[in-house]
Amino acid sequence: MSRDARYDILFEPVRIGPVTAKNRFYQTPHCNGMGRGFPAGMAEMRGIKAEGGWAVVCTEEVEVHETSDHSPVVEGRLWDDGDIPVFARMAEKIHAHGGLAGLQPNHSGYTVANHSTREIPIGPGDMPVEPYVPVQARAMDKADIKALRRWYVDAAKRAKAADFDIVYDYCAHNMSMQMHFLSRRFNRRIDEYGGSLENRVRLFREVLEDTKEAVGDRCAVAVRFAVDELMGPDGLTCDGEARDVIEMLADLPDLWDVNISEWSNDSQTSRFADQDFQGDYTAFVKQMTSKPVVGVGRFTSPDMMAGLIRKGRLDLIGAARPSIADPFLPKKIEDGRIEDIRECIGCNICVSGDFTSTPIRCTQNPTMGEEWRKGWHPEVIPAKKTDSHVLVVGAGPAGLEAARALGQRGYAVTLAEAGDALGGRVAAESALPGLSEWIRVRDHRQWRIEQTADVSVYLRSRLTAEQVLELEADHVVLATGARWRADGVGRALTDPVPGLDALPVHTPDDLMAGRLPDGPVLLFDDDHYYMGGVLAELLRDAGRDAILATPAADVSHFTHFTLEQERIQRTLLERGVEIRAQRTLARLEAGGAVLACRFTGREERVACAAAVLVTARLPERALYDALTAEPEALEAAGVKSVTRIGDCLAPGTIAAAVYSGHRYARELDEPPKDGLPFRRERVALPVAGR
């Protein structure tokens, strides 16, 4: 296929100072949970993106000094020359595919506590650091500021030595020293670095000028700048000081990379923001500088991308999450395969890796983070080793991905789904408030399966063990999902809730099937991810009064890791949901429920007509148990294996289910690996005596 001429504009080269991007696709800096901890994995992941057509591929934020230690969060690190080889490897991987490598040095000021180095944090003034830890930063004097500038110069020179093409001056997300000096909230200095905007922007300008002097003969220097903090007059605004800053520095950098801050604003989930949600804030920048501008907005539509360029809004299409969901997004547009793009669903499971200090993962792209340690490529998969016929039972996220990937390998696959539509839990959950884009998980795989001749799909096909045996499959894969428990057992409660027969009890499965309770409802959330919050919204949409009780300190607690907890809680409060945090469910009674304080056990009764229990799930394993109960029958039918995947094996996230299905497809008929199922990155001990 050939590229649609409408998208030719996206493949024009763009000059960025002394270097040229081969097209307009720009992977902006993003964290990945690998960095200094898994440098080979980080380099391979970035290299795959360059192979996929991204003209510029950037690092995450990279620490410039031991007083900016992000531990336990895993970021990049350029403290000294010994760190150069890590980034040289990444640059080499990117250059191998014609991409430009960008590096974002950063000193995080108030954002870090220096847990590992035990150095005293530094900042514009004497203030506590942002994490909830008993650590305070000391105010920087002139010698400290001079040293800070030198650290940035040293980092820039190391980036150049590592053969990077673009070096950043980072002033965004409230996670950089430049931002802390610029902000009136953090900077109360009375010297030439405080007070007026011209003084507060001084450090930002100095680092920019220092960096250009250090590397500008060969490397471009980019500025990453937050044009609005969504705080009104209490912060930077696109029609106030941010505009003035850009006017001051307009043509000094080689490129402007603009966004909104904080990170939770910049990376809003699809639950709360549409594609191009930053456009209203960043559109003015292009009119104030002659230098190229890159912006982000979870762009997945080629038509929107091309339109932004034609309208003069942007010069380059920035992306972090869309490049994670599909590293080959540019290549697919170039090849005329836009239907094949794995569109980001905006769930932010990728972000959670940074908070858990673990390698990045993605709901749409199960190979993300596995490029080096498992050798998984997002577009390439080994051909089948045998002529086996595989039966996949269940067409939820795990079953769909298994069938799709098995079909890509060339296996003959039968996919049997008990319901009258594909998607399983994805189809049900995407109908909940704010989750409509999650249906992309199903739609992408359904489309790919429809293009694969060797995958046959059968709906309304609930199979018994006897019917499975009659199909004469060599391998049987059970992706039959899980059901929500109706007894309250979960993390906080290990025994069923007393009084389950005292009033109507519902589960998330009931509500997603349209069976909503009547009257005031108590929703007990011991799951702590998105389900409790979206069901509370669903109940309010249906006109039900709702009380959400949870053993956690706040609602949907895990969503702190996906940058949406505050928006969820604010939404529920604004919708009139009553929240009772740090409460367990003691018992149900006629006309109400009894909650108990987690700490004192003190009980309180709340009136309700029904309860919704969002606690834990049980695998649907009846078919598995029936099949494996008669091994002789399996052998007689020629079935070599019966395997559970996804929620049928262990209920988890949709990302985990997709990964499980993909892993099964990758490993079928492959020789077993000795030892661990992946390569480890080991820490090399120093030579004795050093």
In this structure, is the dihedral angle defined by the CA atoms of residues 370, 376, 380 and 384, taken in order, positive or negative? negative
Distance of CA 346 to the CA centre of its chain: 8
Query: Which of 170, 281, 411, 530 is flagged as catalytic?
Result: 170
Locate tokens 């230098």: which residue?
291
CB contact at 8 A, 551 and 573: no
Locate tokens 């109706």: which residue? 486
CA dihedral sign, ordered 530, 532, 535, 540? negative
662 is known as an active-site residue: no
Nearest Cα residue to 256 out of 281, 230, 221, 228? 221
CA 122 to chain centre: 30
Q: Two tokens at 342? A: 């794995």
Q: Is 266 marked active-site?
A: yes
How are the residues of the chain apportioned to helix, strand and coil, as percentages rounded to the nearest 5?
A: 35, 20, 45
Buried/exposed 376-413: b ≥16 CB within 10 Å, e otherwise: bbbeebeebeeebbbbbbbbbbbbbbbbbbbbbbebbb
Three-state SS sequence of 302-338: HHHHHHHHHCCCCCEEEECHHHHHCCCHHHHHHCCCH
> Given 266, 326, 454, 526, which residue is catalytic?
266
Give me the residues paired with residue 616 across strands. none
At 405, which helix (H) or strand (E)? helix 397-409
Give the span between the Cα atoms of 187 and 179, in whole angstroms: 9
**Quick check: helix, strand or coil at residue 444?**
helix
Catalytic residue among 7, 26, 31, 65: 31
Q: For residues 389 and 640, give the distance between their C-alpha atoms in angstroms, rounded to a whole number.
A: 11
Residue 424 · residue 399 · CB < 8 Å: yes
Is residue 173 part of the annotated active site? The answer reads: yes
Q: Which residue has the tokens 């695998």?
A: 619
Catalytic residue list: 31, 170, 173, 266
